Amino acid sequence: MALKDIKPTRSELINIKKKIKLSQNGYKILKMKRDGLILEFFKVLGQAKDSRGALLVKYARAQEMMAIANTVEGSIKVKAAALSVQEKPDITLRNKNVMGVVVPKIDSNKVRKGIADRGYGILGTSPVMDEVATSFEELVEAIIESAEIETTMKRLLNEIEGTKRRVNALEFKVIPELSEARDFIKMRLDEMEREELFRLKRIKARNES
Amino acid sequence: MIQNSSGSAPYIYVSTRLRVRKAKLLPPEEYQRMLNMSLPEIIRLIGETEYQKEVDELGASFEGIDLIETALSWNLAKEFRNVIEIAPGSLKEFTKAYLRRWDIYNVLTILRGKMQGVAPHKIKEVLIPASSLDRFALDRLVAEESNERIIDALKSEKIYKVLISEYPDALASGSFARMENELYKDMYKEFLTIARRGVKGGNQFLKYVQLDIDITNIKTLFRLRQDGFEEDARSMIIQGGTFTPDEIQQMNQMGSQNEVIDALIARIRAKPLLSVLEDFRGEKPYYEVDIGLTKTQIEQMERLSKINPFSIHPILVYLEKKKYEVLNLRALARGKESKLPSDIIRKYLVV
């Protein structure tokens, strides 16, 4: 706000004072929100690190089991067994609110299947097939868990960024400019008052002489 | 038609011949050596053994791991069909019956391959024509347009009855699991019928069949327990062994592994099996249980072949050992190709 655009009136001063108060309140609240979000972010960050670590371990295990299954059973048999699975996992996406940030809540079922629900015959396959199926089911579960945690983390991070920008804008731009405007109006009003007083004194002196 | 051999000479001839062939199979130390080799070295070594002819024959069409896999399959099929040819009298029928599992494997592979749109040449590469369906018959099946036509083309085969009754359900559910189980159960039913028909050597074949059923059922039981399967497991159990499906179902419901092992040991007479079951009391990984049981089965078959030297047993021992030689070599080559550590490959070899 350029100072030349400001009308140095009392009502404008009152308005600006109100704005300053509002901005200061908003600044305090946003600062508290930012700090809260950062605390929440660090909590989620710990979980994300754990879940990403578990995901990598499970991915490596699944890859190894796939190589073993291809070694023991042959790739066509493994592919045939994999494609025999008919029931797809049920994934439900809901929302939950963390300090005003909408984050996903992913519920899944039917990821883990029993030996009878995997679609391949027990008498014509070796237990390696069960192990590879289990390892991939565990991997899918880990991916779902990681997806929820990492999306939450990203959304929190975006919100922290946004809140930080708003706090900075209030702290370094809006409140200083409003204060400057308030000071300018005050100064102008004081000056105008002095001019008025001087003018009145001059008129009084002219009348007396 | 079953022919009762008029004398023991053909039995002695075949048993001796297969014992010689068995002696030519790769010894355990050879696998140990191969575990320390690279893939090209393994391929070269396999090309210098009994598989040389197939490797040379297929060398122009395949290379690397594909060459080895196809050469091993061709050699296995040739060897098995040759055993059928030389087996005399009732031994031929027992051998044919034993090899019927390869028909099931081939037909299921074709049906699954077709259902998933696998290219015909890819399906052909993994077929092992070691039983009544030879390479030409399998090629004709692979060339058929639909699975229904494949099943129709199998009208004269023993597996047709199960295929025609189970295929609609398999198609509707999209899963061949039940059909696969039923095919194997029907195969064992036929084994028992043949063995109990009263032909010469039937009793020896019956001993093998019961051993195979027992081992398969015990493996299934441990596998179900490993998975935490608590529903009715009777449809997955083969009838005709030491344990009925109801007994296996009861064992599956038992609380601890030790209780199950006690229940098994109380009824089993074969000593090697008893000792291997004792080993499973600890927390062993399931694949070790499975491989342990397979090794025990082969040991027990070997023992039976020594007790009955001129019976079906020497033939079955040779066929089983040959099968595992091919599977081990394939696992070695594939494992090396997948860059699996030697220690892991070793755990899955049946040596």
Chain B CB contacts of A87 under 8 Å are none
What average pLDDT does the structure give for chain A? Answer: 90
pLDDT band at residue B1, thresholds of 50, 70 and 90? Answer: very low
CB pairs under 8 A between A and B: 117
Higher pLDDT, B319 or B288: B319
Interchain contact, B105 vs A123, CB within 8 Å: no
Nearest-5° Cα angle at B8, B7 to B9:
95
What is the spatial distance between Cα A84 and Cα B115, in angstroms, rounded to a whole number? 10
SS3 A107: strand
Interchain contact, A119 vs B176, CB within 8 Å: yes
- Here the tokens at position A171 are 């702290």
DSSP code of A35? H
| A141-160 core/surface letters (b: 16 or more CB in 10 A; e: else) | bbbbbbbbbbebbebbbebb
pLDDT in tens, A13-69: 999 999 999 999 999 999 999 999 999 999 999 999 999 999 999 999 999 999 999
Average pLDDT on B171-182 reads 85
Interface test with A, best of B111, B125, B215, B227 (most A CBs within 10 A): B227
Q: Give the alpha-carbon dihedral of A134, A139, A140, A143, to 10 degrees.
A: 160
Instruction: Nearest by CB to A67, from B126, B176, B338: name it.
Output: B338
Looking at the predicted structure, is the pLDDT value of residue A142 above 90?
yes
Chain A CB contacts of B225 under 8 Å are none
Interchain contact, B178 vs A121, CB within 8 Å: yes
Looking at the predicted structure, is the pLDDT value of residue A204 above 90?
yes
Report the gap between the CA of B303 and the closest CA in chain A (Å): 25
Amino acid at the residue B288 = E
pLDDT band at residue A1, thresholds of 50, 70 and 90? Answer: low
Instruction: Tell me what pLDDT residue B7 has.
Output: 63
Q: Where are the beta strands (DSSP E) in B239-307?
A: none
Chain B CB contacts of A115 under 8 Å are 223-224, 227, 229
Instruction: Nearest by CB to A115, from B104, B178, B229: name it.
Output: B229
Average pLDDT on B253-257 reads 86
Instruction: Tell me what pLDDT residue B271 has.
Output: 80
Structural domains in chain A?
A: 10-193 (1.10.287.3240)
- Here the tokens at position A5 are 């655009």
Instruction: Nearest by CB to B122, from A76, A77, A118: name it.
Output: A76
Q: Are A81 and A125 in contact (CB under 8 A)?
A: yes
pLDDT band at residue B112, thresholds of 50, 70 and 90? Answer: confident
Considering A26-30, A94-98, B172-176, B310-314, the range whose residues carry the highest mean pLDDT is: A26-30
Nearest CA in chain B to A68: B335
Whether ipTM > 0.90 holds is no
Interchain contact, A123 vs B216, CB within 8 Å: yes
pLDDT in tens, A47-58: 999 999 999 999
Distances (CA, A) of A137 to A70, A141, B329: 17, 6, 30
Helix axes A127-169, A75-83, angle to 10 degrees: 60
Give me the percent of chain B exceeding a pLDDT of 90. 40
Looking at the predicted structure, is the pLDDT value of residue A146 above 70?
yes
Looking at the predicted structure, is the pLDDT value of residue A85 above 80?
no
pLDDT in tens, A102-112: 999 998 887 88
Looking at the predicted structure, is the pLDDT value of residue B2 above 70?
no
pLDDT band at residue A76, thresholds of 50, 70 and 90? Answer: low
pLDDT in tens, B157-174: 989 999 999 999 888 887
pLDDT band at residue B128, thresholds of 50, 70 and 90? Answer: confident
What average pLDDT does the structure give for chain B? Answer: 88
φ, ψ (nearest 5 deg) of residue A92: -115, 130
End-to-end CA distance of chain B: 37
What is the spatial distance between Cα B97 and Cα B194, in angstroms, rounded to a whole number? 8
Average pLDDT on A84-104 reads 85
Instruction: Tell me what pLDDT residue B9 has.
Output: 84
Distances (CA, A) of A180 to A5, A177, A193, B184: 13, 5, 20, 90
Looking at the predicted structure, is the pLDDT value of residue A75 above 80?
no
DSSP code of A44? H
Contact residues of A toward B, CB < 8 A: 64, 67-68, 70-72, 74, 76-77, 79-80, 83-84, 86, 114-116, 118-124, 126-128, 130-131
What is the spatial distance between Cα A148 and Cα B256, in angstroms, rounded to a whole number? 37
pLDDT in tens, B30-87: 999 999 998 888 888 888 888 889 888 888 888 888 888 888 888 999 999 999 999 9
Nearest-5° Cα angle at B202, B269 to B276:
25
Instruction: Tell me what pLDDT residue B5 has.
Output: 46
Using CA of residue B29, residue B27, residue B271, residue B257, what is the dihedral sign?
positive
Instruction: Tell me what pLDDT residue B270 has.
Output: 79
Chain A CB contacts of B226 under 8 Å are 127, 130
Report the gap between the CA of B142 and the closest CA in chain A (Å): 15
What is the spatial distance between Cα B251 and Cα B260, in angstroms, rounded to a whole number? 6
Taking the Cβ of residue B286 and every Cβ of chain A, the question of whether any pair is shorter than 8 Å is answered with: yes
The helices-and-strands tally (H runs, E runs) of chain A is 4, 2
pLDDT band at residue B3, thresholds of 50, 70 and 90? Answer: very low
